[in-house]
Every structure is written in structure tokens, then in C-alpha cells.
Chains A and B, each alone.
Chain A
Amino acid sequence: MEREAIIRGLAAVLPPGALLASAEETRPWECDGLTLLRQRPLAVALPATAVELTALLRFCAAHRVPVVPRGAGTGLAGSALPLADGLLLSMARFNRILAVDVRSRTAVVQPGVRNLAISEAAAPHGLYYAPDPSSQIACTIGGNVAENSGGVHCLKYGLTLHNVLRVRALTIDGEELEFGSLAPDAPGLDLLAVVLGSEGMLAVMTEVTVRLVPAPETARCILASFGDVECAGNAVAALIAAGIIPAGLEMLDQAAVRLVEPFAHAGYDTAAAALLLCESDGTVDEVEAQIQRMERVLLDSGATRIAVSRDEAERQRFWAGRKNAFPAAGRAAPAYYCTDGTIPRQHIGRMLKAIQGMEQRYGLACPNVFHAGDGNLHPLVLFDDGDPDSVARAEAFGAEILEECLRLGGTITGEHGVGMEKINQMCSQFGRAELDAFTGVKRAFDPSGLLNPGKVIPTLHRCAEYGRVRVSGGRLPHPELPRF
């Protein structure tokens, strides 16, 4: 079927204005949060009802049109990067909270509902939705499910995976699926576990039921300075070894502290080599006892300065610096590239030293913010997006960080997903047998292969190509080849 006929066919199943196909209309949709990669889609659809969505999918299945689902487009790995011959399926109009039930502590929402909106709706009942990715004001629960998003409180409250009970979805043929249950242990294989984090490749979500948890009575935060990154890394391991599970445990290196302090005025110690933010939440007594234990461990681990938040305003101020790391990076350089990997906590110091070496080699600065409690790092590579050489160096820098994560026994993505950004490093993390098994899983859910094809699972050819790139030691021999 030719392009124009497909567009006419798609428009025919939607109300006026719900299909965008002209160049001007589709340009704003050409990338998600990974702005390094851009591609205008064949068309953008904005269905608002299950009937419209089903009709769209059936049309796409019948005419072999690939479909790329998209939430708010805040994803940082390019999972929602459009395909030139594909439909970009925006779920933005599926934005209703269908129910908040206090008795079962659950909320039933459409996938286009924003993460924070769920907690806002639950707040009058003293409940909230725990996973809090830093984009929570804008990102949607559908995107969170697709990426199995994390946040700063994962160590204690889990990832999206641990907080989603049920997902309703459609196959590309418009058939209804229900994964998981509000009751414990749905029968059969745990398909929900696979759908979570499947980056829009297995089914199109229509409804998500999340678990709500009671808001803690109180929370307090410790701000601890360290004279050495290794020392700060060891303090993280020491806290866990002491049997403490903090509500949040974040780390900023000196470069990150100096980047955010002038911007956020958080009162950070700019002389420290690294800062730890260590939070406790719970009842007043629990928090009091835990803060005392945390202080002791941090001091024993060599903290040079310690401040404990005295009230909510001060706690918020402590967090303001961490939460403004990205905007501050945006101000400090023409562009920044935030990558995402996880390493065993004990190697945090080693990793930071390795990144310092890479800064020299690539000639780019890289401040670091970490979800230290999870060993999940977010290095911010600062570069100039107007300079192709700087862009290439930033990409190679990011790739080398991910390779280093693997060498240290970690993973190439902790919470952002693979998308297109990290597809090459999938060749390093997994062997061909595992990649084939992933292809098998995709086939089992989506025999047509039309749902977000080409993401996450690299082809044999791509891995061969990447292997050749890697041995050349960070220099890109064929800059004309698309690699992200």
C-alpha cells in the first residue's frame, strides 16, 4: 500500500484532527527525550477511545504498518523514536484516572495519565504511588510500564515492576489481553513481568492498575560530605551492610555539586569530593532511630561533615540540588548526554575514577549523579551539539561508560531502557543465544513483528559492526553509519 493510501486509511478510522501527517505536524514528534536521534514518522495518531485504538491497530495489522507507541516522550533511550514508514501512536489522550480505591490501595488508570497525577489523586487518602522517576511531572504511567522506570526511592519501594498489579493491553490485531491480577499470583506464566520494561514491543497498553502505599508519617534527610569518592562509595556499602535500607541514597561528585549549587542554592559543600544524600522515612520513632544509626555509619566511614534536615523545608532544600542536576547541566553546556547504567555498589569509587580518565581521553566534562543505593549511575556528559566531533566524542564516551559497567559486573541500563541508544551494548551484555531468545519472546507476543520493531534487540549484523567499532578503541571508523 502506498504512503498516501495508508494515511487516508488511518485517518478514516479516527475523528478529525486525530491524525497528523504533514511535515509541519509530525516534526514535533520526531524524537523522544533522546534528542540525538530524530526521525519523522509516516503519521502520528492520537486516538482517544478503545474503539478508535482497536480500529487503528487492526488497520496497521492488515496493511503491515509498524506501530511505535509513545507516552509523554520523556524517555531517554529512544524507545519511542519513530519509524519513517511507521505510525507513531500517541497515548496522550488516554489520560483518565478510572478509579482510586482506598480499601484495596489501588488506582486504575489509563496509560496516558502522568506519574505524579496518580499520587495527587491518592493524596487525600494518605496514599501515593511510590516509583518517582525524575520526570514524574511529565512522564506517563504507560511509559513507566514500558520502561520499568525507577526513581530515587527504588531501594526501599521497588521499581515500576514491584508496584504494578495488572496491565490491560491489545495485540496488534486488536485482541484484548490482561496481564497480572489484583489477586496474588495470576495463573499461568508471569507474563506481566515480561511486559514490564518491554519498551512497547509486546502489546499496546490500555489500562494499568497500580499499588498505592501509605504516605510515611515523616521523612528526614542526611547530607554528608566526603573528602574522597572512594570513601563515599564505601559508606554506601557500609550502610547496607549495617542492615539499613534507606528510603533514598543519592550521591553527587564534586563536579555535579559545583554544577548545581549556583543554580539550586541547596547549601551543598562545594569543597567535598562527593556528597551523599541519605533519607529515612517512616514513623517519627523509626526515623529518629534510623537517622542516628545512619549518622554513626557515615561518620565511621569517614564523612567529613554531616547535616540532618531539621524540618520539611530543609529536607526539600537538600533535595533541590539533586533534583536540579539535569537543568543545571543544561545551563552549563550547549548540550548534555545523560546515560544510565548500574554497577555493584562496592565499585562506585572505581567507576568514578574510570570516568575521570575518560574525561581526559574524550576531552569532555562529565559530572556524576548516582542513585547510589542501587548502584545506578547517571553520568552527564557535557558536549556541544553544534559540533559533530563533540557529538561523536559524547556518544563514544557514553558507550565506554556502559562497557565499563559491564566490566564491573553491572548492566547497561538501570532504568532508562535500551531503546535505540544502548542497542549496540546489548551485543556486549548478552550472547547471541540470549538475543535470539529475546527475539523468540517478541515473536510469542507479537507474531506480526509490527510493534516497535528494531528496538532493544540488535541484529547479528549490527553486533558484528559494533564489534569492529569497539576494537578500534573509542574512535569511530565509519561516522556515516547510524549507530544509535
Chain B
Amino acid sequence: MSAVTPLLKNQFFSHGTYECNDMPATRRFLVDFLGLDIIRPLKEAQYMWKGGPWSVVCVCVQDGEPKVQAPQNHFKLSVGSAAEVDAAHAAALAHKDEYGIKEIRDVETVDGQRSFKLWDLNNTWWEISTINQSYYDEIFAKGDARH
């Protein structure tokens, strides 16, 4: 940990961003499939969130396709159990065409955490996972690993 005075008076990590080009279809995917909360405060943008004060701003790019993202850049959703990951995976396979889901990766278990990734109608990757805040609490409490 550095003792340097930070350059930003950063109060809070407030938001990330996500592109779409079909607001209604995107909203149905985010709300009805992924279970996120959402509002539309601007004509060109919807704000989504779940479980915390930060938001992800969904910006409508009307003149083309949303940027094609790779799995390197994705959002992670926490669900309550491995069974819910499996159920979400089954639902993704069953409703793939309905929600414009383009790719669904296999479920995997790594270090006891079960998850899978899907590539959505807006070319963004999502990971549905059993990882939760307790998992991160423990890692931050342990501190850096030696490597």
C-alpha cells in the first residue's frame, strides 16, 4: 500500500458502461432474463443495477452495432447457489433465440466457484457465478499472495 497522496478525491466507484442499439429488447434481456433492476432517466440511456449503489449505464448507439467485446471484458453476476448457476445455464440454452443470446459457454467449477459465460444481443459477455461479496472479503482480508 502506498503512502502517496492520491490524485483523485474519489468518493465512490459509481458506474460502468454497456452499449446497446435496441432499448426495448435490451431491457427485456436485462430485466426478464438477467433479473437486473433498470430505469431510463435519459432518452438515450438506461441505468441498471442490482444489490448495490453502483450502476451500469446502458447507452444506445443508434447508428450501428454495439462494440464487439471479448470475454476479457465482462460483467459478473452473483447468484445464490451452484444450482442457480445450472438453472440459469439451462434457461440460457432454452431461451437463447428469444433473447438474442449469441453464445453460451459450458458451466465450469474453478476453486469451488461455479459459473458460465454468455455473449448477449449487444456483443457483451456476462458471467453468472456463485462468487459473492464474502468471497472477495476473504481475498482482500488475506492480502497479496506471494508470487
Bound together: no
Chain A residues proximal to chain B, CB less than 8 Å: none
Residues of B within 8 A of A (CB): none
